[in-house]
Structures are given as C-alpha cells and as structure tokens.
Amino acid sequence: MRNPAAILLAGGVGSRLNILVRQRAKPAVPFGGIYRIIDFTLSNIANSGITDVAVLTQYKPLSLMDHIGNGESWDLSGRTRRVKIFPPKTGEKDWDWYHGTADAVRQNISFVTSAKSDEIMILSGDHVYHMDYRLMVDFHRAKKARVTIATITVPWEETHQFGTAVTNNENRIVEWEEKSPRARSNLASMGIYVFDRDYLVALLTESKEADFGHHIIPMALGEGVVYAYPFNGYWRDVGTVQAYWDANMDLFDPASGIHPGSWRTMTNINAAGPAFDRPPVCVSSTGHVQRSIVSPGCTIRGTVVNCVLSPGVTIEQGARVSDSIIMHDCRIEKGAQVERSILDKEVAVGAGTTVGRGDPKTVNAAHPEHLYSGLTVIGKRTDIPPGITVGTNCIIYPLIPAEDFSGTNIGDGETVTGGYETT
C-alpha cells in the first residue's frame, strides 16, 4: 500500500511571536542556529518516505518559498517525488484568504483528489518534533479509522491552548473539546491528522466549515471513526516568544529529548546564501564559549554562555552574551552585555551597551501577553547605539537606525517602534 500524500499548513500569521514574524512567515523563523522551524516537519516527511507534498502558504510567504525551493534539500525533488507550494489564490473571483485550516485544504482540494494515495496527512509547519509518520499510518490502518489525530499529554494548565480528546480503552475518541478553559482531558491534539482521502473529500465538500479542530473533527466524531494516536517523544508548539526561547534552550539539556542531529533534520543551506560557505568558527585567545551552539562563520572574542548563535555572529572582546538567541550576522561590540534576549538577523549592539538586564516582573506594556518573563526581543537590522541600556521585557522594532535612539535608557517593559517612539 502506498505511503500517504501530505499537506503541510504553513500560512499562519503567528502573531504571538511578535516582531519575529513581522517580515516572515512563522515556519520560516530561524531555529537552533542553522535550521528554520519548518525544517522539522519537512524532515519528518522525508524520513518517513512520503514523496507527494503540498505546502500551503499565505502570510509573507517569500522567505519560506525561497527556503523550500524545489524540495531537493529534503530529497523531495525528482521524477517520482515532489513538493508543490500553493500560495493563496487572492484576487481571483470566488477566492479569498484562508479562513481556517479546513478552508485552506478545501481551497486546494484538487491536490487531494489527484493524490494516488488512499490517505492524506495534514501537518503543521510550526512545531518542533521528530516523528516517524509511518507508525501513525500503520496505527490508522490497524484501527480501520477514517480519521486519526496524533496526541500528546500536556500539563493541565496548558489544556486551554489545545484541542483535547477523551478516549476509550481502544484509543477511539469519544469526546472532543477545542481550547476549553475547563478541559476534561489533558490529551492534546498535536495538529497532525491522517484522513482517508475519500472521507476527507466528502467532509470538505459537504460542509463549508473552516477549521479542523473547531468544526471538522466534531462532525466526524459523531460517526465513531476518529482515533487518537499516542505520541511520547519531544514536541513543542513554538508559537509564542516564550515557547520559542524555551525550545532553543532545550537544545542544551540532553534529557530534554530534542536532538536535531540524530533526528536527521535537514535544511536548505543554500537559501539566501550558503550558511556553510563561511569560514570556520573562530574563538580567539580572549574568547570563551560555554554550553552554547556556535554556527559556521562566527567570531568569538568575548564570552558566550548558554546561547544559540546562527552563522556569521561576531562577539567582540569584552562583550558578554548569555541565555540568548542571536541570529545571522549580528554584531555585539566591545564591552556590550546581552542577557536573556532574542536578536533577529543583522542586529548591531553598540560598544558598552547593556541589553536585557532589569526587573523581569515589569511586563511589556504594549504586549503583556507576549513578553512577561524577562525576555527582550530586537528586530531585524536594528542598530542599537553605544553606551545605552535596554531593559528587560522590551521590544525594539526592525530596521531602526542608531540615530533614531535618544537618551541612555529604554526602560523595562517598553516598546520602541521607530524614531524612538516608545509605548
């Protein structure tokens, strides 16, 4: 029997990642130094032997499309294998932006009906995990299910963020709640589905409902054909600033279960310039690196502790960076101090500047739901001038030149939007 075809949903706005998605789609956000978030799902697809893949994009798709290319980085290019990118068909009569996950698949139903497989997998492009989908498909077939949902046990206090399932002793789902504030189960949906192809087509054509979790799954539940596939490995929804930082920090904990290398996680090293066509890492006699990931092309003359550095980062002499995620080609100049921060690509931190030090109890005033634990986020290509202090739980927007800053202090919880406008 054929392996399933796969539809990878990669169009979400990802607004809870704040300025990290201001200029890119959430699945295109860099992760772990050399990867992007979508690499984990694409690698799972490739390592599971799935060869027919549709990627549904929507929000700011260009960097994502460039990264995926023709799929050859994941061995998804050739006569018998393909990855096809479907941008939203805006501007055409009777079409609009996707209104939900099910609507996105419905608007591309031709891919489903033309698939030569008996099953269709629906996957998300914004989770970090490793799964052999073949085991889930085998479970689906053994149960004679029409729909199978991958599930994982989550802490009870997190259940309001997920669809949750109540199952019987055969793993059949008998009750379903979507993001309930008082969930009766902590068995959460991972956003990974296996559908019998013809059943999926029938559900989508007989209904105009927009979302799998809110609408399609409850419809199928009444027929007693929906099963929960239990998953016990590492999995994180990195859709918030806090979860994104936590998942990167998990890379330093051998017990966490995240191991991109042994998972055979692949990436496109040639997109936007080859990441590995850079000089080797250089740690000078004044440099010190502890418990960190340092990518090719980095130069370390200062101190780096508990950090993830993407390619091309420079840490000058006397600078110290700790507990931070520093993306491609950032520069931390002499004597600067950076703590518990996320710096997007090509950020410059001036000499003697301090970033991320302050009172973590002062949440971000503009986005208290995004930054509340002592993290500071600086947007792409912003230039922080020398000698100033940037507090904790701060947001500094992309593309702000040094001359737009005034004074010597950006207080805890402030947001800088440009022209040194703060909120």
* Domain region containing 43: 5-256
Buried residues in 217-246 as b, exposed as e (16+ CB within 10 A):
bbbbbeeebbbbbebeebbbbbbbbbbbbe
Q: Contact, 139 vs 229, CB < 8 A? A: yes
For residues 251 and 325, membership in a common domain is answered with no
For residues 229 and 292, membership in a common domain is answered with no
Is residue 266 in some structural domain?
no
Nearest-CA neighbor of 353 among 384, 392, 387, 324? 387
Is residue 275 in some structural domain?
no
Is residue 274 in some structural domain?
no
C-alpha distances out from residue 140 to 4, 240, 311, Å: 11, 31, 41
Is residue 145 in some structural domain?
yes
Is residue 296 in some structural domain?
yes
CB-neighbour burial class of residue 389 (10 A; exposed 0-12, middle 13-18, buried 19+): middle
- Number of domain units in the chain: 2
DSSP symbol at 22 = S
For residues 235 and 108, membership in a common domain is answered with yes
For residues 188 and 310, membership in a common domain is answered with no
Q: Which residues contact 28 (CB under 8 A, 6 or more apart)?
A: 36, 37, 38, 63, 64, 67
Bridge-based pairing of strands 415-418 and 395-396 is parallel
Please identify which residue in the block is written with the tokens 């799964």. Answer: 131
Residue 1's pLDDT is what? 67
Phi, psi values for residue 317, rounded to 5°: -60, 135
Token couple for 395: 């947001």
The kind and range of the H/E element at 105 are helix 101-106
For residues 133 and 223, membership in a common domain is answered with yes
For residues 246 and 295, membership in a common domain is answered with no
Is residue 82 in some structural domain?
yes
CATH number of the domain that 170 lies in?
Answer: 3.90.550.10
For residues 403 and 286, membership in a common domain is answered with yes
Residue 274's pLDDT is what? 59
For residues 140 and 247, membership in a common domain is answered with yes
Q: What is the DSSP string of 275-320?
A: TTSSPPPEE-TT-EEES-EE-TT-EESSEEES-EE-TT-EE-TT-E
For residues 296 and 193, membership in a common domain is answered with no
CATH number of the domain that 366 lies in?
Answer: 2.160.10.10
Helix, strand, coil share of the chain (percent; to 5): 20, 30, 50
Residue 14's pLDDT is what? 74
How far, in Å, CA of 340 to CA of 390, rounded?
Answer: 12
- Angle of CA points 259, 264, 270, to nearest 5°: 110
Provide the whole-model pTM. 0.93
Is residue 49 in some structural domain?
yes
Token couple for 144: 């004679």
- Domain limit, last residue, from 256, 271, 301: 256
For residues 228 and 292, membership in a common domain is answered with no
For residues 70 and 193, membership in a common domain is answered with yes
How far, in Å, CA of 418 to CA of 382, rounded?
Answer: 10
How far, in Å, CA of 423 to CA of 419, rounded?
Answer: 12
- Domain limit, last residue, from 222, 256, 290: 256
Rounded to 10 degrees, the C-alpha dihedral 86/128/281/318 comes to 120
Q: Which residues pair with 165 in a beta bridge?
A: 176
Residue 421's pLDDT is what? 53
For residues 16 and 133, membership in a common domain is answered with yes
Bridge-based pairing of strands 147-153 and 187-196 is antiparallel
Q: Where are the beta strands (DSSP E) in 115-224?
A: 119-124, 127-129, 147-153, 163-167, 173-178, 187-196
pLDDT in tens, the chain (423 residues): 689 999 999 877 778 899 999 888 899 999 999 999 999 999 999 999 999 999 998 888 888 888 999 899 998 987 788 899 988 765 444 445 777 888 889 999 999 999 999 999 999 998 999 999 999 999 999 999 999 999 999 999 999 989 999 999 999 999 999 889 999 999 999 999 999 999 999 999 988 877 888 888 988 988 889 999 999 999 999 989 999 999 999 999 999 999 999 999 999 987 655 556 789 999 999 999 999 999 999 999 999 999 999 999 999 999 999 999 999 999 999 999 999 999 999 999 999 999 999 999 999 999 999 999 999 999 999 999 999 999 999 999 999 999 988 777 999 999 999 755 544
